[in-house]
């Protein structure tokens, strides 16, 4: 399927979609006074961290910083996208093909950065599972922190003093986005043809034949060239509006932080994944499932859900037993843990 066939859209439909995003983004203005808005929560955590012994204090401090910085950075990128989208709306209404191409590519680049920030936190959460090595835990936390610092403070490699001071290369950003949005690199290359001062952008304001046809052509004449660009724009903004995973990644990291404040928390067990072992049998109200080994309220919910799913899967397997699909044994339930 060609890029032109990805999405069929018209100017009015795309403009309406972009305005919907702008309206949705404006709800995040509650975080504009970010430092004061989050101060009570941050100070509360800092007070709890000061009361910790030295065993998990370094972990808690780093987790708090990464959670706070990643949320701030995600909001920053969202607001940059907001202004790119507002510019896109004006360009569509003015039928400005050059601006539409430039701003659509900028939209793709910033969404790639947004995904990179969210996926950095998500990967950290995944890699910390069952990790008990103090050295490895600190390495994982420091690596994620460096990525976030580069995403915010990074400058051109030509003037950066080191790699840690350099911004993340666009190809690396696109690679992260391509995990979730197929053909990202191809879409980016296509947009570059219309942004750079070459034949692609020339076709947006001329007939496409040297010294032939008209210049400063009307919107009807360049519509065939601009239509696939608008299709890409529609694809990108739809993807962003449907996303909830990346924006919630700092919150999931905060749940790991809460583990540091549980009794007997230390490097060797703070990120351990425990099997769901209920105290009750779930047959009556008095003997309802209860997970005394769960360290947080969220963990109680997850262990309850996991245990019920294990029971359900065992039941289904036993009802549909065949030699090729043997009964699932309870002692193997660890493989089903999230």
Task: Answer yes or no: do 183 and 222 share one domain.
Answer: yes
Residue 157 CA: distances (Å) to CA of 110, 117, 164: 18, 19, 10
Q: Would you say 280 and 287 are in contact if contact means Cβ atoms under 8 Å apart? A: yes
Overall average pLDDT of the 278-288 stretch: 64
Domain boundary among the residues 259, 290, 314 is at 259
Residue 212 has phi, psi (to 5 degrees) of -130, 145
254 is a domain residue: yes
State yes or no: pLDDT of 60 exceeds 90.
yes
Task: Answer yes or no: do 250 and 309 share one domain.
Answer: no
Overall average pLDDT of the 167-175 stretch: 96
State yes or no: pLDDT of 301 exceeds 60.
no
Task: Answer yes or no: do 160 and 299 share one domain.
Answer: no
List % helix, strand, coil for the chain (3-state, nearest 5).
65, 0, 30
State yes or no: pLDDT of 125 exceeds 60.
yes
Could you report the per-residue pLDDT of 187-241, keeping only the tens digit for each?
999 999 999 998 888 888 888 888 887 888 777 777 788 889 999 999 999 999 8
318 is a domain residue: yes
Both tokens of 159, joined, read: 């003037």
Q: Would you say 134 and 142 are in contact if contact means Cβ atoms under 8 Å apart? A: no
State yes or no: pLDDT of 329 exceeds 50.
no
Q: How many CB atoms within 10 Å of residue 231?
A: 20
Count of structural domains within the chain = 2
Q: Ranked by mean pLDDT, which of 47-51, 211-215, 285-289, 293-297 comes out on top?
A: 47-51
Question: Is residue 213 classed exposed, middle or buried when 0-12, 13-18 and 19+ CB atoms within 10 A define those classes?
Answer: exposed
**DSSP calls for 193-216:** HHHSTTHHHHTTTB-SBTTBS-BS
Task: Answer yes or no: do 293 and 211 share one domain.
Answer: no
Residue 299 has phi, psi (to 5 degrees) of -65, -35
The pLDDT, as a whole number, for residue 245 is 83
Overall average pLDDT of the 125-138 stretch: 91
The pLDDT, as a whole number, for residue 67 is 95
Which residue range is the domain that position 323 belongs to? 273-338
Domain boundary among the residues 229, 259, 289 is at 259
């Amino acid at each position: 399927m060609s890029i032109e066939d990805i999405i069929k859209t018209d100017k009015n439909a795309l403009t309406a979609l972009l305005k919907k995003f702008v309206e949705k983004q404006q709800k995040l203005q509650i975080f504009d006074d970010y430092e004061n808005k989050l101060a009570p929560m941050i100070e509360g955590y800092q007070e709890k961290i000061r009361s910790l012994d030295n065993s998990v204090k370094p972990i808690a401090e780093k987790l708090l910083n990464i959670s706070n910085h990643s949320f701030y950075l995600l909001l920053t990128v969202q607001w940059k996208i907001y202004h790119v989208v507002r510019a896109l709306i004006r360009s569509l209404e003015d039928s400005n093909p050059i601006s539409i191409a430039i701003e659509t590519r900028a939209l793709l680049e910033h969404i790639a950065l947004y995904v990179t920030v969210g996926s950095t936190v998500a990967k950290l959460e995944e890699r910390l599972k069952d990790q008990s090595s103090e050295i490895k835990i600190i390495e994982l936390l420091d690596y994620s922190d460096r990525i976030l610092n580069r995403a915010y403070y990074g400058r051109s490699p030509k003037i950066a003093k080191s790699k840690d001071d350099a911004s993340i290369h666009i190809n690396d950003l696109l690679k992260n986005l391509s995990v979730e949005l197929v053909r990202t690199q191809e879409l980016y290359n296509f947009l570059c043809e219309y942004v750079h001062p070459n034949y692609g952008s020339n076709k947006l304001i001329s007939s496409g034949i040297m010294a032939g046809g008209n210049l400063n052509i009307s919107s009807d004449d360049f519509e065939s060239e601009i239509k696939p660009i608008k299709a890409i724009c529609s694809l990108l903004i739809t993807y962003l509006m449907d996303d909830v995973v990346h924006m919630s990644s700092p919150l999931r990291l905060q749940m790991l932080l809460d583990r540091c404040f549980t009794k007997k928390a230390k490097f060797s067990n703070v990120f351990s994944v425990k099997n769901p072992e209920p105290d009750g049998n779930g047959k009556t109200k008095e003997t309802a499932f209860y997970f005394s080994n769960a360290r947080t309220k969220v963990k109680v919910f997850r262990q309850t859900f996991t245990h019920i799913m294990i029971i359900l899967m065992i039941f289904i397997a036993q009802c549909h037993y065949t030699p090729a699909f043997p009964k699932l044994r309870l002692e193997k339930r660890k493989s089903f843990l999230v």
